[in-house]
Amino acid sequence: MNKKEIIVIGGGPAGLMAAEVLSQHGHGVTVYDAMPTVGRKFMLAGKSGLNITHAEDYARFVTRFGSASEHLRAALDAFRPDDIRAWAAGLGTETFVGSSGRVFPKAMKASPLLRAWLSRLEARGVRVLTRHRWKGFAEDGCVFTTPLGREVVHGNAVLLALGGASWPRLGSDAAWVSLLRGRGVDVRDFRPANCGFDIGWSDSFRERFAGFPVKSVTATSDAGTFQGEFVITQNGVEGSLVYTHAASLRDRLEKEGRALLQLDLAPGRTLERLSRDLARQGAKASFSNRLRKGAGLEGVKAALLREVAPEAARADPEELAGMIKALPLAVLRTRPIAEAISAAGGVCWSGIDENYMLTALPGVFTAGEMLDWEAPTGGYLLTACLATGRAAARGIDAWLQR
């Protein structure tokens, strides 16, 4: 007698998790998605190894969401990384912890997990309708455009899990922003997160080194100092080390119009040792040999030093060591949000209640990347999507019971 019909709009991790929890509570659930298949961004994330969560100490884990950490805490507490691993195991996907603490399926793919998940949802009576694009509210229902034309669907509650603004070709195109703003919902503009940056490379450097990885370096910004690697691109830089600094670089660009990523090309050597090693090189040695023998720099690292600090070849050993240890790489702008792994911005926390319901639209809930939060790569993004989908579903059930 308590069974209700719930409309879930968006077939990504947040929407599917909400559908699972709602079906467990005995409700009828239909998932609507605009794309021909669900979970497209999920599948792309798993193409080179699905990073499902992170195994670091939980007290540290929950701080990774910046200013939204406090808002997300209850949802994360209720569905922690260990819970996610157990949930995946229940779907036949065993996981392991990589050397960096990132957690992956042993199969290293998203497709087996998604297939098992959809099969379980179907067994629980969840319907999944694709090629149904949400166009807003009307006549006390949700309006969709479908292969058969316009359709108005009615339900006892609605969950919006339409994603953010990154990778729009996979479905998360943020077309919902204007629809919600038109209904009085406060939405913060989306900005790129975990993104690459444009840099003014010379033609010769770009042609020779685009696609080359820069390994074993440290990078410093307002975010702190971290070791890792990144990739030279035709337009600038991208990769895990750049993504670690992306939010701070983006914010600095927005505030001051310029930002620097300070690189240490030889993190294994102190400034003093590097100065001594460079000073030992013969006066007649070429600059390339001085870098190779005195600093261990060659290839893309040596070229990067020349590109950013062309005066390095004329510097004395102490000055050269300083350039190698603190090379100022100026970033010009973020790459377009369509290329970003994720986005910052979304529905403001002030506009949702403890059940993830929109205060401006009673009976309408939201979860996942539609909410205003950002996190680094490493399993944090997917964890928060799953956790907020679960929290919103529990919120829907509590609201319906009242």
Task: Give the E-state strand segments of 252-397 in sequence order.
Answer: 259-264, 327-331, 333-334, 342-347, 364-366
Tens of pLDDT along 346-360?
A: 999 999 999 999 999
- Distance, first Cα to last Cα, the chain: 14
Compute, in degrees rounded to 10, the torsion defined by CA atoms 131, 136, 140, 145.
-30
Q: Which two tokens stand for residue 3?
A: 């069974």
Compute the half-sphere exposure of residue 348: CA atoms within 13 Å on the CB side of its CA: 11
The three-point CA angle 390-394-397 to 5° equals 140
Q: Count CA within 13 A, CB hemisphere, residue 308.
A: 23
pLDDT of 46 = 67
- Whether residue 1 has pLDDT greater than 70: no
Question: Given a cut of 80, is residue 2 above it in pLDDT?
Answer: no
Mean pLDDT of 374-401: 96
Tell me the C-alpha distance between 130 and 39, whole Å: 11
Q: Of the CATH numbers 3.50.50.60, 3.40.50.920, 3.20.20.70, 3.40.1360.10, which one belongs to the domain with range 5-192+337-401? A: 3.50.50.60
DSSP structure class, residue 335: P
CATH 3.50.50.60 domain locations along the chain: 5-192+337-401
CB within 8 Å of 362: residues ≥ 6 apart: none
- Examine the pLDDT at 278 and tell me if it is beyond 70: yes
Higher pLDDT, 41 or 121: 121
Residue range 368-386: mean pLDDT, rounded: 96
* Cα radius of gyration (the chain): 24
Counting residues of the chain whose pLDDT is more than 70, the rounded percentage is: 99
Q: List, edge to edge, every strand of the sheet that includes 102-105.
A: 53-54, 102-105, 95-97
**Can you tell me the mean pLDDT for 317-335?**
97
Helices (H) and strands (E) in the chain, counts: 14, 20
Q: Please report which confidence band the pLDDT of residue 282 belongs to, taking 50, 70 and 90 as the band edges.
A: confident
Compute the distance between CA of residue 328 and CA of residue 254 in angstroms, rounded to an integer: 19
What is the dihedral sign for C-alpha 35, 341, 379, 365?
Answer: negative
179 in Cβ contact with 347 (< 8 Å): no
Q: In what order do the strands lie in the sheet with 149-153?
A: 133-138, 141-146, 149-153
In angstroms, rounded to a whole number, what is the distance separating the alpha carbons of residues 253 and 53?
30
Residue 283 pLDDT > 80, yes or no?
Answer: no
Residue 48, pLDDT > 80, answer no
Whose CA is closest to 230, among 273, 264, 272, 179? 264
Q: At what angle do helices 380-401 and 13-24 cross, to 10 degrees?
A: 40
pLDDT at site 47: 74
What are the tens digits of pLDDT across the range 338-347?
999 999 999 9
**Residue 3 confidence class, pLDDT cut points 50, 70, 90:** confident
Spatial separation of the C-alpha atoms in residues 144 and 162, rounded to whole Å? 14
Answer left, alpha or beta for residue 304, where phi above 0 means left and psi between -120 and 50 means alpha.
Answer: alpha
SS3 102: strand
Residues in the chain: 402
- φ, ψ at 130 (rounded to 5°): -95, 170
Lookup result for tokens 């007698």: 1
CB 96 within 8 A of CB 49: no
Which 3 state secondary structure label does DSSP give 128? strand
| Tokens of residue 180, six digits | 């919600």
Instruction: Give this prediction's pTM.
Output: 0.93
Which residue would you say has higher pLDDT here, 111 or 284? 111
Among 261, 241, 236, residue whose Cα is nearest residue 336: 236
To the nearest whole number, what is the mean pLDDT of the chain?
A: 96
Burial class (CB in 10 A: 0-12, 13-18, 19+), 316: exposed
Tokens 């719930």 belong to residue: 6
Q: Is the predicted pLDDT of residue 106 greater than 70, yes or no?
A: yes
Q: What percent of the chain has pLDDT over 90?
A: 94
To the nearest 5 percent, what fractions of the chain are helix, strand and coil? 40, 25, 35
Compute CA 311 distance to the chain's CA centroid, rounded to the nearest angstrom.
38
222-226, 283-287, 363-367: least confident range: 283-287
Could you read off the pLDDT of 178-231 as tens digits, one per residue? 999 999 999 999 999 999 999 999 999 999 999 999 999 999 999 999 999 999
